Each structure stands twice: as structure tokens, then as C-alpha cells.
Amino acid sequence: MQKYKIGDHVMYGVSGACKIVEIGTLDFAGPDKVYYSLKPVYDSRDTIYVLVTKDEEISRKVIGKKKAQEVVKQIRESGMKGQLPDRETCDSILQNADSLEVTNLIRQLRNVRAQNKKNHKSLNIADQKLLTYAERIVISELAVALTISMEDAYAMLNSALD
């Protein structure tokens, strides 16, 4: 039995919010394998295929509008907690796609970037990639949940973080 249906918006890895556009077999995979076809919100030219039997790879459905408004409020009210975690913990945070945890990661990475800037340095490539992924996750979910553009969601996130 399928956990998701066509039209659902789900969170998938570092791709962030994706829309399930099709459920079915693929020509190259054989008739006995059924896949979810996901289109990332940030880039609808891309398509991601996830076996229906491996739906645990999909983090969860995108939060609703009311929950998104609560999340934005919580982002505004909360401050940065702790130091930048190790890479394995960061990967786990991104995979779980919990908006508040990912937002804290964004705060930590932006703080590292600001500290580095004082020393005329930038983020290392791995941290810059991590920041890009983290922002994509939060921004794409807010955009879908609040039915706003990615640009407006980015501005909303920046405002909430200030």
C-alpha cells in the first residue's frame, strides 16, 4: 500500500519540498517496481524517483499553512543553540527536515560565515553546500505551505532570523 498519493507535497532529502507528480512503473526498472516521481519545488526540471517500497526515504509530508506560520513565529523567537555540529549530525538534521533544527543549523552556519568574514575568509566548500541545502529545505517548505514564491519564502526566513 502506498503511503503518499499524486499531488502530495513531501520533504525529500536535500531537495527539500517536492510534489509527487506520478506513481507507477518505469520503463527501465521493470514492471514489478513501482516508483513515486517527485518534482522538487526549487527546480521542476529535475525528477527524483523513489521506490514505493522505500518510502521511508521520504522524510514526511510538507507542513500545513497553520504549522508553517507557527514555525516562522518560533524561528523569530528562538535564538541560536549550541555550536555547529559534526558532519554526521548535520546530515541527520537535513535528512529529518525538522524546520526548527534545520533553521538552527542555518543560524550556526551563517554565524561561522560572519566570523570567517571578519578574518577575510569565506565558508569552506562543504559548509557552503550544507548552508545551501539547509536553506533550500526550509525555504521550499515555507513556500509550499504558505503558497508563496521561493523568493518571498527566502525573504521571510531572513526576516525571521534577523
For the chain, the helix, strand and coil percentages under 3-state DSSP, each to the nearest 5: 55, 20, 25
Which residue type occupies 77? E
Q: Cβ distance 48 to 76 under 8 Å?
A: no
For the chain, the domains span: 9-61, 65-161
Which residue type occupies 38? L
User: What is the maximum span of the chain, computed from C-alpha positions, in angstroms?
Assistant: 57
Tens of pLDDT along 104-154? 999 999 999 999 989 899 889 999 999 999 999 999 999 999 999 999 999
Pick from 6-20, 56-70, 75-89, 116-130: least confident: 75-89
CA torsion sign for 141, 145, 150, 155 is negative
Q: Quick one: which of 108, 155, 100 has its CA closest to 130?
A: 108
> In what helix (H) or strand (E) does residue 64 lie, and over which residues does it extend?
none
Q: What are phi and psi of 160, to 5 degrees?
A: -70, -30
User: What is the Cα–Cα distance from 104 to 51, expressed in whole angstroms?
Assistant: 31
| Average pLDDT over the chain, rounded to an integer | 92
pLDDT at 27 > cutoff 80: no
Task: Match 575568509 to its residue by C-alpha cell.
Answer: 121
Q: Could you tell me the fold of the domain covering 65-161?
A: Methane Monooxygenase Hydroxylase; Chain G, domain 1 (1.20.58)
- The pTM score is 0.88
pLDDT at 84 > cutoff 90: no
Q: Supply the pLDDT for residue 162.
A: 84
Confidence of residue 67 (pLDDT cuts 50, 70, 90): very high
User: What is the Cα–Cα distance from 29 to 45, expressed in whole angstroms?
Assistant: 21
Q: Supply the pLDDT for residue 135.
A: 96
The three cell numbers of residue 63 are 507542513
